[in-house]
Amino acid sequence: MAKTQLGWVYVLHNPSFKHNMIKIGFTNKPTPQQRAQELSKHTGVPTEFEVLYAVQVYGAQDLETRVHQLLQHKRASHNREFFECSVDEAVKTIRQTAGKNVLDEMDLRGGNAAAFRQPETAKKTNSRKKNSPNKQKNRGLIVMMMIVLILFLAAMLVVGWNVEQKEKAQSPHNASQSQTLPERAAKHNDVPADDVAATWQKIAPEIRATLQEEQDKWLQDKQNHCAQSANRLQCEREWNGQRVKYLRGFII
């Protein structure tokens, strides 16, 4: 069907006519009711025409011609647009012929002038408009929940950081900082070389004689090892501390 001028193909009925006499035509007017009013102004018509059904399509005149051809056998006169058939049959023929080209559809067969069915595209548009406020409301709730969640996580991070700082403040490492220098030195074997010599002198001479070779070797090993250490002073103190503990075992 050619998409030319937009118009309506309608089904009209006049109460003055017999029941199954209907008019099938087309109009380019904004509504089929305007065409019905125009036809009702003729002096030869005692009562006004009523719109029973109409569809809005592009190429309304082409659609009208095809419908007339399909219902030709029920035409009241070959040069008139009146047909002796039921309204339901006329509606069925128009719908089948128009197919998916229908833009708007008006079905007033029940006598309800407000009855109006829009095509699926229009329905979807209206549905989106109706649902739009709900979607915006739901979107706002989601954003608010996300903000609350972010604030909650941030608060938990702050609390966790504070707890960690308190634990660090109470840890043995920090407690050791309050110890005196001699206490820390004893804990880390931070013993000067003089203590090794003093402890050595406390050992009985006869025992020192048996340990002399071992003591000399220890001194040499300490020098060789600590000479390669990054912190020689700390290295020597550790060796001294271990040696003092060892030599104390020989004091009688």
How many structural domains does the chain have?
2
156 lies in some domain: no
Secondary structure percentages of the chain, helix, strand, coil, to 5: 60, 15, 25
Q: Which residues neighbour 41 within 8 Å (Cβ) at sequence distance 6 or greater?
A: none
102 lies in some domain: yes
Query: Which residue in the block uniquely carries the two structure tokens 């998409």?
Result: 3
Domain end point (choices 51, 76, 107): 107
Q: How many helices (H) and strands (E) does the chain have?
A: 9, 5
pLDDT at 187: 47
Query: Which residue in the block uniquely carries the two structure tokens 């209907």?
Result: 22
The residue range of the domain holding 200 is 196-249
162 lies in some domain: no
pTM: predicted TM-score of the whole model, two decimal places: 0.44
Domain end point (choices 61, 92, 107): 107
pLDDT digits 0-9 by tens, 90-114: 999 999 999 999 999 999 987 644 3
22 lies in some domain: yes
181 lies in some domain: no
> How far is the first Cα of the chain from the last one, in angstroms, to the nearest whole number?
124
pLDDT digits 0-9 by tens, 196-247: 899 889 998 988 898 999 989 999 999 999 998 889 899 999 999 998 999 8
Domain end point (choices 54, 83, 107): 107
Q: Alpha-carbon distance 215 to 14, whole Å?
A: 134
Burial class (CB in 10 A: 0-12, 13-18, 19+), 41: exposed
58 lies in some domain: yes
* Mean of pLDDT over the chain: 82
